[in-house]
Structure 1
Amino acid sequence: MMEIERVVDELRRGGTPVSRRRVLRMAALGSLGIAGAGILAACGGGSESPTTAPSGGSSGSGSSGSGAGSTPSAEGTPGSGGGEAKKGGVWRMAITANPTAYPITAPGALTDILVNKTIYNCLVQYRLEGDAIEVVPDLAESWEAASDLSEYTFKLKSGVTWHDGQPLTAEDVKFTMDAVLDPNVNASGRGVVSSIDSTEVVDDQTVKFVLKYPFASLPIMLGYNKPIVPKHLLEGQDLNEPAEFLRKPIGTGPFKFQEFVQGSHLAVEANPDYFEGAPLLDGIIFKIIPDGNARVAQVRSGEIDFTVIEPAQIDALSGVDNVEIRYVPQVNYYFFAINHSSPKMQDVRVRQALVYAINRQAIVDQVLKGHGKVATGPINPLLGPYYNPDVPTYDYDPERAAALLEEAGWTKGSDGILTNAQGEKLTIRFNGPKGYPAMEQVITYAQQEYQKLGIQVTLEIVDWPVHLDMYHNLEYDLLMEWWITPPDADLYDHYHSESSSNWWAYKNPEIDDLIVKARSEPDEQRRIELYHELQRKLAEDVPVVYLYYPEEIQAMSTRTKDLPAMGYRDALTWMEKVWVE
């Protein structure tokens, strides 16, 4: 019996191999009262019985010119190889809820992305090279752009097969992109590839994308959660809920779907026929662990090999001999989404007051323990020259916030609540996800600051699936969320009024125009200038309350080797190279 089969059998029977030493460690840990939960987004819930796979609603070989066989650099980082790589073993990772192993309609939560990165492949992928992230081939062997960036032609690698043995062809790529762009399909992340007007099959190994307008960053976007799916298995099925496919998802990735038990785990096993060579691991277990205390306990005891933790959990794992903690820069930001369909949020002075009213530097210092920076906009400083520091920053100034609210027509009534000339009170429904202590701390703090100004705030801290539904259906006034972006400055997905991921109903024709101009500008210096202007305009208009750019804090077993020191949503692209001692 392979190691993956043994571990899956243990999980199926409700047990996990635990040594006497681990039992003692777990008993000791029980008295620590660890607080906090890992920042791992997920969705779903369900029974404990086995079921089907979860469902859910420039020329050259890349921008770096790197070859198809390149591997990620991990030299000098925790988790890098400490000897000769070994085959065998099962790697276990914590996720917070039931994942969706069907990438067309997966909500795009991190749990979905993590699982899908092991089963499927994109045309390109991201590789860490020194301090830079580069775009390198995945299913594509090479690509070239038309001189005006209006067309891209991708050549596929030969010899790639699906897990059922059928060959990958350009027809699969066309089928996938057509499905993602089909308005009748509830596809996630449609805005990422919204520049594509049509996909053409040139021959079995070549596909051409004809764009609506020039777009310099299309190759980057194709590596951002856009896996290719098999036409021969999905054609003719309901692409919103392909029942047959969901029973056993089929990809081209380094691991094959093995089983899914709702509320327990999803298991994948090594694909011996993987086109880049068989993985070193026998398999991976994605253990569904909603509770942050349990995740910390299990990485400490050795029951799992990897989880992401919050700053408050660092002390509980520091000095533990079988755990390494590493701090990884991440291209993301946290924010309060503002529902722009709410009449009370229409006045920019109200939105600006919401920023002035909170001390974001104190949040970074006290909640994040210094592991982050105050955010000034949606483009992370890690994007170098594209980041514009010269924008309105709205430093903490509650007096200025109060003055802006008064200018907007809100004055305190006899009950201390801000009221307008029509007698309407300034009330806010403030939503956040349950089980994320750092986020709950931030939301509770903001509620207190807003109430000092006379804003009546109702907190709604709800389970993740409910939170996600309320977010997507605009059932909030303010809502705390975060966004992990591609390594590119493109802002279409969340800020263009026609994007399917504009979940705060933000509409600004000037911003729409700037987004399209910037993403279609072929000259890099001019593109940088446009993104600087775009950041200034967004800062002035306050579409959301920008909070902070955090570091990702990873807790990993010391037996884990050659996991790249990248944000984990990208590091898992390279799981065929990872091994365990």
Structure 2
Amino acid sequence: MGESVDRVLQQLRSAGVRVSRRELLQLAMFSSAALVSGAALAACGGGEEGGASTPSGATGAQPSPTAAAATTPAQQPAATPTTSAGQPRRGGVWRMALHANPTAYPITIPGALADLLVNKTIYNCLTQYQLKDNQIEVVPDLAESWEANDDLTEYTFTLKQGVKWHDGQPFTAEDVKFTFDAILNPNVNAALRGPVSSIDRVEVVDEYTVRFVLKRPFAPFPVMLGYNQAIVPKHLLEGKDLNQPTEFIANPVGTGPFKFKEFVQGSHLEVVANPDYFDGAPYLDGIVFKVIPDGNARVAQVRAGEVDFAVIEPPQVDALQGAENVEIREAPQVNYYFFAVNHSVPRLQDVRVRRALSHAIDKQAIVERVLRGYGQVATGPINPLLGDYYNPDVTTYEYDMEKAAALLEEAGWTKGPDGILTNASGERFTILFNGPKGFPVMEQVITYAQQQYQKLGIEVTLDIVDWPIHLEKYRNLQYDLLMEWWITPPDPDLYDHYHSESAQNRWAYKNPQLDELLVQARSEPDRAKRVQLYHEMQKLIADDLPVIYLYYPRELQAMNTRTKDLPLIGYRDALTWMEKVWLEE
């Protein structure tokens, strides 16, 4: 099959027809009822009715329960990739704004979001996401197809053949095994171990087949393999210090549509087109990721035409009104914003205190006045975009300052002569509140929260710092409260951030009952039962309130109108399709 597809592909390209290997396989799938039937089975059963759905020889897309793109009041974006009546053209450099310096190394991702964005263009995962028919689907990337055993404890992936690393070496199953062995190695500071922590071992079946043997059933496993689990080259990293492979970081090598060219600290990281990309050479000559820490400066450069793409915040929309070269798009993104609570701080371990902190924040006012309606109040970590996995019937914390004060008093905090809350031991109620610079909405929300908490008698010190310092303090629990957000996979699995043993549990939260539910829910193959478990989990989380949930935002993308065929999906996932993007003259 692989050789015949490659032969047809070569004949078509020789005839001047530009078609990717993926597109050719999709055409082939439509001619086979058996393949279409297999493709309809979903790893997590998202959006499907009935019981469990299991990938069985799934070469096709697997839907996750995520809604379609929304429209903005400013402009009406299409629900499909931005296209043009003209034919795609080659050439040009696309420019995207980053908030911090990136490091193009996907194992430790020291720069978090900035690293992930760059990695999307240099590396590939086994699977990736696309938006189709109002759902986010899981589709093959480096994988050609996959199948699972009946109890979802083994997944066998067939890999695409003919894929090469940027240095010309062939990509094989050995690279896949090496990557996941590294991620699971406790001596490696892998940033995203949680989503794949269910793996017991990885077996190389042959050069282009790899088997994942899991510790327990895990229904959304193919979904998680598309969540920033980039494959790295064994031949360049074997025997190196995987926490700091200096030589590799200076010259990263992937299989992606773009190759690393250069990185200038504080200025930019540049990639150039990979003419040998397995899914067809990109239309673009390259991409420049410009490092612009200040949010308003990012917007100014978009308006001036110096940047082609930036994610913006609602108050920045007005600054782009009337700019004929800019399109404002709303994209579906499974995301939530919150105040992280450091549970190693004794005064924050009392749930009455956490509930008081939530009651003191008028979340609806934040959505209406700060977000300008681009979002909705959050009730927990599972976004409504996940369909019936979302449970709206949970405890909520309406704005009520009197109730907040009463809860604090019930917890043993009363105001002293200076108006500051103290407990029976004479300890003053203080909060060190951290947040990142360069994000106007976050800074506004944190300042508002400081004022609200001070009204209750809490002494609040703001700690607004540059992004790298913010991340360091977050990872090291150097805060009391900290504003953050999580963009999650299109699946309700919460293990990565809430299980007491997960490296991504950045707030030292421990709840044995929740731990048990987290494992049970991700292991449940029956979709209806899985939905029920996540409903139960959301009720528990809402009652115990590990963090202060704020809002589910809509992602606002400011994009130069010369950009064509960038999928209208969350920008992290859109970047995995950059070989399709082209620039209009």
Q: Which residue of 2 aligns with 1:413?
A: 416
1:409-452: per-residue Cα shift (whole Å, max 9, x none)?
11111111111111111111111111211111101111111111
- For residues 515 and 111 of structure 2, the distance between their equivalents in structure 1, rounded to whole angstroms, comes to 23
Whether the 8 Å CA contact 1:108–1:189 is kept in 2: the answer is no
2:265 equivalent among 262, 270, 294: 262
Q: Secondary structure of the equivalent of 2:343?
A: coil
Give the residue type in structure 1 aligned to 2:369. Answer: Q
Q: Which residue of 2 aligns with 1:516?
A: 519
Q: Which residue of 1 aligns with 2:490?
A: 487
2:169 equivalent among 145, 166, 170: 166
How much does 1:248 deviate?
A: 1.1
Q: Which residue of 2 aligns with 1:445?
A: 448
Whether the 8 Å CA contact 1:78–1:326 is kept in 2: the answer is no
Q: Secondary structure of the equivalent of 1:510?
A: helix
Whether the 8 Å CA contact 1:62–1:135 is kept in 2: the answer is no
Q: Secondary structure of the equivalent of 2:483?
A: strand
Whether the 8 Å CA contact 2:102–2:111 is kept in 1: the answer is no
How much does 1:80 deviate?
A: 2.2
- For residues 382 and 111 of structure 2, the distance between their equivalents in structure 1, rounded to whole angstroms, comes to 20
- For residues 336 and 251 of structure 1, the distance between their equivalents in structure 2, rounded to whole angstroms, comes to 36
Q: Does 1:136 align with 2:139?
A: yes
Q: Does 1:466 align with 2:469?
A: yes
1:14-70: per-residue Cα shift (whole Å, max 9, x none)?
xxxxxxxxxxxxxxxxxxxxxxxxxxxxxxxxxxxxxxxxxxxx213357369xxxx
Whether the 8 Å CA contact 2:111–2:468 is kept in 1: the answer is no
Whether the 8 Å CA contact 2:60–2:140 is kept in 1: the answer is no
Q: Secondary structure of the equivalent of 1:278?
A: coil
Q: Secondary structure of the equivalent of 2:328?
A: strand
Q: Which residue of 2 aligns with 1:384?
A: 387
- For residues 60 and 215 of structure 1, the distance between their equivalents in structure 2, rounded to whole angstroms, comes to 17
1:219-257: per-residue Cα shift (whole Å, max 9, x none)?
000000010000001001111111221221110000000
How much does 1:96 deviate?
A: 1.4
Q: Which residue of 1 aligns with 2:348?
A: 345
How much does 1:195 deviate?
A: 0.5
- For residues 406 and 450 of structure 2, the distance between their equivalents in structure 1, rounded to whole angstroms, comes to 19
Whether the 8 Å CA contact 2:305–2:560 is kept in 1: the answer is yes
1:122 equivalent among 110, 113, 125: 125
Scaled by the length of structure 1, what TM-score is found? Answer: 0.88
Q: Which residue of 2 aligns with 1:99?
A: 102
RMSD: 1.4
Give the residue type in structure 1 aligned to 2:295. Answer: G
Q: Which residue of 1 aligns with 2:58?
A: 61
Q: Map of 1:360-439 to 2, 5 A cutoff? A: 360-439=363-442
- For residues 110 and 378 of structure 2, the distance between their equivalents in structure 1, rounded to whole angstroms, comes to 25
Q: Secondary structure of the equivalent of 1:483?
A: strand
Q: Which residue of 1 aligns with 2:284?
A: 281
- For residues 333 and 62 of structure 2, the distance between their equivalents in structure 1, rounded to whole angstroms, comes to 24
Identity among equivalent pairs (%):
73
1:321 equivalent among 312, 324, 328: 324
Q: Does 1:475 align with 2:472?
A: no
Whether the 8 Å CA contact 1:268–1:283 is kept in 2: the answer is yes
- For residues 312 and 59 of structure 1, the distance between their equivalents in structure 2, rounded to whole angstroms, comes to 47
How much does 1:110 deviate?
A: 2.0
Q: Which residue of 2 aligns with 1:69?
A: none
Q: Which residue of 1 aligns with 2:567?
A: 564
Whether the 8 Å CA contact 1:82–1:561 is kept in 2: the answer is no
Q: Does 1:242 align with 2:239?
A: no
Give the residue type in structure 1 aligned to 2:197. Answer: S
Give the residue type in structure 2 aligned to 1:60. Answer: G
1:141-191: per-residue Cα shift (whole Å, max 9, x none)?
000111001111111011111011111110000000000111111111110
Whether the 8 Å CA contact 2:167–2:253 is kept in 1: the answer is yes
Q: Secondary structure of the equivalent of 1:548?
A: strand
- For residues 504 and 78 of structure 2, the distance between their equivalents in structure 1, rounded to whole angstroms, comes to 37
Q: Secondary structure of the equivalent of 1:93?
A: strand
Distance 1:533 1:246, change over 3 A: same
How much does 1:304 deviate?
A: 1.1
Q: Secondary structure of the equivalent of 2:554?
A: strand
Whether the 8 Å CA contact 1:348–1:541 is kept in 2: the answer is yes
- For residues 83 and 347 of structure 2, the distance between their equivalents in structure 1, rounded to whole angstroms, comes to 52
Give the residue type in structure 2 aligned to 1:508. Answer: N
- For residues 399 and 63 of structure 1, the distance between their equivalents in structure 2, rounded to whole angstroms, comes to 55
- For residues 478 and 78 of structure 2, the distance between their equivalents in structure 1, rounded to whole angstroms, comes to 46
Q: Unaligned 5+ residue runs, structure 2?
A: 1-54, 64-68, 70-76
Q: Map of 1:64-79 to 2, 5 A cutoff? A: 64=61, 77=80, 79=82
Q: Does 1:150 align with 2:162?
A: no
2:536 equivalent among 517, 533, 537: 533
- For residues 332 and 487 of structure 2, the distance between their equivalents in structure 1, rounded to whole angstroms, comes to 11
- For residues 303 and 254 of structure 2, the distance between their equivalents in structure 1, rounded to whole angstroms, comes to 33
Q: Secondary structure of the equivalent of 1:487?
A: coil
Alignment: residue pair count? 518
Q: Does 1:356 align with 2:359?
A: yes
Whether the 8 Å CA contact 2:100–2:111 is kept in 1: the answer is no
Q: Map of 1:77-92 to 2, 5 A cutoff? A: 77=80, 79-92=82-95
- For residues 126 and 324 of structure 2, the distance between their equivalents in structure 1, rounded to whole angstroms, comes to 39
1:61-83: per-residue Cα shift (whole Å, max 9, x none)?
357369xxxxx9x9655732332
Deviates more, 1:221-230 or 1:107-116: 107-116
Q: Does 1:220 align with 2:220?
A: no
- For residues 108 and 126 of structure 1, the distance between their equivalents in structure 2, rounded to whole angstroms, comes to 23
Q: Which residue of 2 aligns with 1:201?
A: 204
Give the residue type in structure 1 aligned to 2:174. Answer: E
How much does 1:108 deviate?
A: 6.2
How much does 1:107 deviate?
A: 3.2
1:189-234: per-residue Cα shift (whole Å, max 9, x none)?
1101100011111111011111111000110000000100000010
Deviates more, 1:87-96 or 1:239-248: 239-248
Distance 1:526 1:63, change over 3 A: farther
Q: Secondary structure of the equivalent of 2:187?
A: coil
Q: Secondary structure of the equivalent of 1:461?
A: strand
Scaled by the length of structure 2, what TM-score is found? Answer: 0.87
Whether the 8 Å CA contact 1:108–1:188 is kept in 2: the answer is no
- For residues 60 and 127 of structure 1, the distance between their equivalents in structure 2, rounded to whole angstroms, comes to 19
1:535-580: per-residue Cα shift (whole Å, max 9, x none)?
0000000000000000111110110000000110000000000000
